[in-house]
Amino acid sequence: MRSKNAKRLVEFKGKHAKLEDGKCYTIAEYVKVCNEINPETLKYSTLKGRLYGTQYCTPDHLKPIFSFEKNRLGYDKAARERVATASRLENKSERIMAKWLKVKL
């Protein structure tokens, strides 16, 4: 069993300019590679959370914070507004039922 304070090595799978496919890296090494060009694009705790419970690290895990969240959720302001105003009644029978349920007895 691994020691509680031992560094966790996570295998990289995919294509990246500075990382080799199939080689194991620590989370700190991943963060260092990602932050070489633009500092503070990825924090240690963020990447640790993304890799929690996974066996492999992919290029998607190494995206900056904003682009990862936007791509994962697929939401922007317009999409949230569309979802908020969308009708929840899916077919004709549900619309008729909703109409009759609103009628006072």
Domain extent, residue 33, equals 9-101
CB distance 56 to 11 below 8 Å: yes
- pTM, rounded to two decimals: 0.60
Domain membership flag for residue 34: yes
- Please indicate, yes or no, if residue 2 is contained in any of the structural domains: no
Q: What is the pLDDT of residues 13-44, one digit of tens each?
A: 999 889 999 999 999 999 999 888 777 788 89
pLDDT value of residue 37: 73
Average of pLDDT values for 72-92?
74
Residue 57 lies in a domain: yes
Residue 86 has a pLDDT of 78
Domain membership of residue 58 (yes or no) is yes
State how many domains the chain has: 1
Question: Is 37 a member of any domain?
Answer: yes
